[in-house]
Amino acid sequence: MADFTSGLRPADPQGPSLLAQERARSSIDVEQLAKHLLSRNDFLGRQKRILSILTRIPLFSKRNLLNIARPDRYQLGLARAKTLRRLSLKHGWDQEDYLMAEYLMDEMGPYALQSSMFATSIREQCSDEQKAYWLPKVENWEIIGCYGQTELGHGSNVKGIECQAKWDPQTKEFIIHSPTLTASKWWNGALGRTANHAIVVAQLLLPGPENDKYESYGPHQFIVQIRDMESNKPLDGIVIGDIGPKYGYPGMDNGYMLFNHFRVPHGALLSKYSGVDIEHGAYIKPNNPALVYGTMTFIRAQIIMHARLVLARAVTIAVRYLSIRRQFSDRDSKEACAPEEAVLNYPTVQIRILPLLATTFALHYTGESMYKLYWSTRRQIENTGDISRLAEMHAASSGLKSICTTLAADGIETCRRAMGGHGFGGGSGMVGLNNEYLSKPTVEGDNWMITQQTASYLIKRMAEVVSQPNFKPQDSIHEQFQEYILGTKDSRKNSNGLDVVGDPFALVAAFKQRVSYLAHQMYQARVIETEPWTSLMIPLHRLSCAHAESLLVSNFYEAAFTRISPPSPDQATVDILQTLFRLFALFTLRASASEFLVSRTITVDTVAHVTPAIQKLMTQVRPHAVRLVDAWSIPDYLLESDLGSYDGDVYNRVFQRAHQENPLNMLTFNSDWRSEEIIMGEGEENASKRMQALALGVAGRVRSPSLSSKL
C-alpha cells in the first residue's frame, strides 16, 4: 500500500546501527566460537547448505502461518512434507540433512514419524525376515507409517494400555481389538489423516495351556496396515481420525484409532526379541531389554541438544531486541532530556535474560558429555558385554531430560515476557516457539515422573557406599559418597561453608555436596526407615533435580576451566565462558538456596552475597551479549522474528508485517451494531449464515464445512 507511511522511518537511533555498536563493543570472535559450539556432524556447514535450498521454495514461507485455519494448516503441512521428501531425493540428502531441514522449517509435519519412530521400530524390533520385507518399503516411502502406543486412557504407564492382540490358534492370526473407549489409540502423530501403516502397541494375549483362559504377556509391537492404499480410507474394522486442535503442532495430524476385532497375520508381531510360536502358540521370551535404555539415552542427549538451540533462539530474539528497544531514561540522570536506556541495561531485565544465555552453554556442554557417555558405554558393551554403566547413564539422562526441557520451556516464556508488548505480537517469533515447545516437558517421559528413576538409582548407590567394607562411619558420609559416585573428593569448606562466590570450583563442590546430602536423607528414609515410596515423591524429585543440576554445573566447569574441547576459542572468549559458568551456577544455586543451607553447604552470610555477585557477573557479560547469541548462528529463516533478525531493523519489519501482509486489512467491515452485516456489502442474510457456520463448525452442519470458503 503506497501511502504517506512509506516516507516514514523509525525514530533514531536506528536498530541496525545499535546492533552494530553492540557488536563493536565486544572482541569475541563469533565465527571461532560458533565452530567451537557447532562443529559436531558439520552442523554449521550443513545448516548453510540446507538453508540455501529451503529459502528458495515459496511454499516454505512462514509469513502467513498464524493467519490460517487449522484444517488448512494440516494440508499445508502435508504439501510441505511432500516437497521436502522430493527435495531430499533430488539433493541426495542423508538422515542428518533431512533432520536439519525439519529443524529449519520448524515444523513437525505428517511425515515426521516415517524415518524416526516408524523406521526405528522396524529396524530395531523386527526379525531378519520381517526386516527384509518391510524395510525397503519404509525406506522407499512406498508405505507411510506412524507409531501407535499411547491411548486415551494411558500415556506414561505403558503397561496399562488396553488395546489387545489376542492369538487365535485356529487361524494363526492376532485379533486386534479395542475393548473400551479408553483403549483408543490417542495422540499418535501422522495417524489422523496420513499414514497407511502403523506400529500398534497392544497387550499380547495368549491362550493358556488348555487353549482356554487367555493370559496377558504385556505390551508388544505389531505392524498393521490401517488404510486402503488406493482410497486412503481406513480399512473395515478400524476407526481413525485426527484428534483435533491442540497446543502447537498444527501441521501434524495426531490421531486416534480403534479396532473392532481386526485380524492380522502371525508375522505382524515384531519378533526380534520375543514372539509367539506359530505351531503351539507358546510365548518366546525376550532377551535382556537393557539396551533399550541405551537408545533412550541417545534420544535424551538429542533432546538436550535441541533444548539448547530452542533456548538459544528465544535468547537471541530477546538479546537483540532488548539491545535495540529503549524505554525510560536513568532515574538519577541530571540531564533534562536524558536519552532513553536500552532495556537490556536494566538489571531487572538482565536477571531474566542473561542467566538464560548462560544456560544455553550449560545445556550444550552437558549434551556433549551425554553423547560421549553414550558412545563410550556403547563401545564398552559391544567390546566387553559389560552393561554396568547403563544404569548410571539412564539415571543421568532421566534427570537431565526433566530439568533441561523445563529450563527451555520456562526460559522461552521468560524471554517473551521480558519483551513487553511486542513479545506478544505474532511477529515476535515467540508465539509458535512457545506453543510448539510446551509439549517437551510432557513427552518422552513426564518431567515430574521420570525423576523417580534418577532418585531410585542414587539411593541404591548410597546404600552401596554405606555397605562398603571400607566404609568408615566416623568419616563424613558425604565425602565418601562424593568420592565413590561423583568422582571428586574436595572439601574446601571451612566454618563459613564453601566460598561459592569467590571460588568457581567451590560451586562444583557445593552442588555435589547437596546431592550427597539429599541422597543420604532419602536412603535413610526409604532404606532404613522404610517409608512408603509415594510419601517420599517430593524430596525424591528434588534429589533428581539436584543431581541433574550438579551434572550441568560439573560439565560446564570442566569445559570452561579444565578441558576446553577443540576447536577451542581464544583466551578472551574462554574468560567469558568462565564468567557465564559462574553466572549459571550462582543463579541456579540461588534458586534453591535453602537446600544448600539445609545441607550446610553454604552459610546464611554467603547467601546474602550471591545476588550482588550475580549482578556483577551480568555487567561483565552484558557487552558481549549480542556476539554471544550471534555465535549460536540461528538463521533469520528459523527465527522468523521481526524483533530478533540479525540486522536489527525491528520497527520497519514489525510495521511491514502488519501493513503489507495482514489479510484482515484487505477487508472493510460494517461495525454498526444495528446491522447484522459483517463485511461491507455482503448483506445481512449472508453474514448471518456465515457467522453461524463459523460458530458451530461441524456441529452445526453435520456435513463437511467447505474448507475453501475462506474470506
Annotated binding-site residues for FAD read 150, 189
Determine, following the binding rule CB under 8 A, whether residue 133 of this chain makes contact with a second copy. no
Answer whether 256's CB lies under 8 Å from 243's CB: yes
Residue nearer to a second copy on the CB measure, 187 or 584: 187
Determine, following the binding rule CB under 8 A, whether residue 528 of this chain makes contact with a second copy. no
The catalytic position among 173, 340, 392, 444 is: 444
Element (H, E) at 565: none
Which of positions 565-624 make contact with a second copy (CB under 8 A)?
Answer: 590, 593-594, 597-598, 600, 604, 607-608, 611, 615
* Binding site listing: 150, 189
Among 35, 154, 520, 624, binds a second copy (CB under 8 A): 154
Determine, following the binding rule CB under 8 A, whether residue 470 of this chain makes contact with a second copy. no
3 state SS of 596: helix
Pairing mode, strands 275-276 and 214-225: unpaired
Determine, following the binding rule CB under 8 A, whether residue 218 of this chain makes contact with a second copy. no
Alpha carbons 703 and 67: distance in angstroms, whole number = 24
> Catalytic site residue 549?
no
Residue nearer to a second copy on the CB measure, 566 or 664: 664
- State CA 316 to chain mean position distance: 17
Which of positions 646-705 make contact with a second copy (CB under 8 A)?
Answer: 651-652, 654-673, 675-676, 678-680, 687, 690-692, 694-700, 702-705
Per-residue binding letters, 355-394, with a second copy (x by CB under 8 A):
----------------------------------------
Torsions phi, psi for 579 (to 5 deg): -65, -40
Answer whether 269's CB lies under 8 Å from 174's CB: yes
Which of positions 8-27 make contact with a second copy (CB under 8 A)?
Answer: 8-11
Among 327, 376, 388, 496, binds a second copy (CB under 8 A): 327
Contacts with 247 (C-beta within 8 Å, 6 or more apart), sequence order: 435, 438, 439
With b for 16 or more beta-carbon neighbours within 10 A and e for fewer, the 187-210 pattern comes to bbbbbbbbbbbbbbbbbbbbeeee
Determine, following the binding rule CB under 8 A, whether residue 496 of this chain makes contact with a second copy. no
Answer whether 343's CB lies under 8 Å from 330's CB: no
The strand pairing partners of 165, in sequence order, are 176, 204
Alpha carbons 356 and 416: distance in angstroms, whole number = 12
Q: What is the CA radius of gyration of the chain?
A: 29
Determine, following the binding rule CB under 8 A, whether residue 69 of this chain makes contact with a second copy. yes
Among 20, 235, 391, 449, binds a second copy (CB under 8 A): 449
Stretch in the footprint of a second copy (CB under 8 A) among 32-40, 119-127, 417-425, 564-572: 417-425
Q: How far is the CB of 274 from a second copy (least distance, A)?
A: 21
Among 537, 574, 620, 646, binds a second copy (CB under 8 A): 537
Residue nearer to a second copy on the CB measure, 70 or 492: 70
Residue nearer to a second copy on the CB measure, 179 or 208: 179
Among 347, 391, 503, 558, binds a second copy (CB under 8 A): 347
Q: Is 560 exposed, middle or buried (0-12, 13-18, 19+ CB in 10 A)?
A: buried
Determine, following the binding rule CB under 8 A, whether residue 427 of this chain makes contact with a second copy. yes
Sign, Cα dihedral of 475, 480, 483, 489: negative
Alpha carbons 175 and 152: distance in angstroms, whole number = 20
Alpha carbons 315 and 313: distance in angstroms, whole number = 5
Which of positions 238-277 make contact with a second copy (CB under 8 A)?
Answer: 239, 241-247, 253, 256, 258, 260
The residues annotated as belonging to the active site are: 444
